[in-house]
Amino acid sequence: MYALLKNFSKLPLRLIQNLAQMAGSFLYLTHSSMRRVTEINLQSAYPELSDLERNQLVEASIKSQCMTYAESIKIWGSSPEYALSLIKDVQGEDLFLKAIQNPNGCLAVVPHFGTWEILNAWLNQHTSPVILYKPSKNKDVDRFMLEARQRLNATLVPTDETGVRALFKHLKQGGFSVILPDHVPKESGGIYSPFYNQNALSSTLLSKLAAKTQCSVVGLSCLRREDLSGYDVVVTELSHDISSKDLQLSVDTLNKEMERMINVAPEQYLWGYKRFRRLKNKEKIY
């Protein structure tokens, strides 16, 4: 598997994207589980769409998800300089540079949206983050990812209490970290909060860190250009309510702000993930 990933990453990016789009078309036409989950999630997120509009968005989303996975392999197997060469525009860079000057540190909200792996190389130019890292169950995939991430100025810490303490200490020292807060957490690490019309179990980690440290909080995304000519990094100013000591207000605001980020290019979000598998009303929508 390791050799396969290495060799795949050496293919030209446009070929990798074309192959991924073909895979996406196959998954769409064969009514795969990815299509089923994507359809359910998009029905919840955008009920106002017509059947035709939703089907078009479902197909575009599945192709985009396949490209995101394939592009990640390309980025992991390439140099940071190559990743940087793919970025054509940075929107809101001044906002980011100001945020990382906060003596209380800075947290970036990065949903599973766009081609987020490219962000690592861009961040490496400006800061040395501490990042929570959960090893892949596949040892070859884990080795491949670790090699890529260890080429950067990032410190990887485990997704447990030890890692959270290290992250908190880093922020208190004025450091920077990235958190992807749109996963389904354990019951002990979440509260229920509206996200795309579902009262879903939502992570509290970022909210608690922001409230304790009063660090800066910004949104970060890396969006694929429609013509596949490259990528744009987007820095989004987020509501100060995310840093509120009222945990419910913070998480509710965080979810709404992530919706605002995703709505810029909804076809590039990871709708194939069962984000709503833990709902307050215990409904099993999948």
Query: Checking DSSP bridges between strand 216-224 and strand 87-91, what pairing results, if any?
Result: unpaired
Is residue 34 included in any domain, yes or no? yes
Question: Which residues are within 8 A (CB) of 152 and not within 5 positions of it... i.e. 6 or more apart?
Answer: 80, 120, 121, 123, 124
Is residue 282 included in any domain, yes or no? no
* Tens digits of residue pLDDT in 4-59: 999 999 999 999 999 999 999 999 999 999 999 999 999 999 999 999 999 999 99
- Give the pLDDT mean for 255-264: 98
For residues 215 and 102, give the distance between their C-alpha atoms in angstroms, rounded to a whole number. 7
Is residue 275 included in any domain, yes or no? no
Least-confidence region, from 34-43, 66-75, 123-132, 225-234 = 123-132
- Decide: residue 171, CB within 10 A, 0-12 exposed, 13-18 middle, 19+ buried: buried
DSSP letters of 30-86? TT-HHHHHHHHHHHHH-TTS-HHHHHHHHHHHHHHHHHHHHHHHHHHTS-HHHHHHT
Is residue 284 included in any domain, yes or no? no
What's the structural domain count of the chain?
Answer: 1
Predicted confidence band of residue 152 (pLDDT cuts 50, 70, 90): confident
Going by C-alpha positions, the residue among 156, 179, 178 that lies closest to residue 166 is 156
pLDDT at residue 194, rounded to an integer: 98
Is residue 286 included in any domain, yes or no? no
Q: pTM value?
A: 0.94
pLDDT at residue 68, rounded to an integer: 97
Is residue 121 included in any domain, yes or no? yes
Is residue 192 included in any domain, yes or no? yes
For the cut 80, the answer to whether the pLDDT of residue 179 exceeds it is yes
What is the residue range of 54's domain?
Answer: 2-268
For residues 11 and 276, give the distance between their C-alpha atoms in angstroms, rounded to a whole number. 36
pLDDT at residue 92, rounded to an integer: 97
Predicted confidence band of residue 136 (pLDDT cuts 50, 70, 90): confident
- Give the pLDDT mean for 67-95: 96
Is residue 277 included in any domain, yes or no? no
For residues 171 and 175, give the distance between their C-alpha atoms in angstroms, rounded to a whole number. 5
Q: Which residue has the tokens 């100001």?
A: 98
For the cut 90, the answer to whether the pLDDT of residue 151 exceeds it is no
pLDDT at residue 134, rounded to an integer: 81
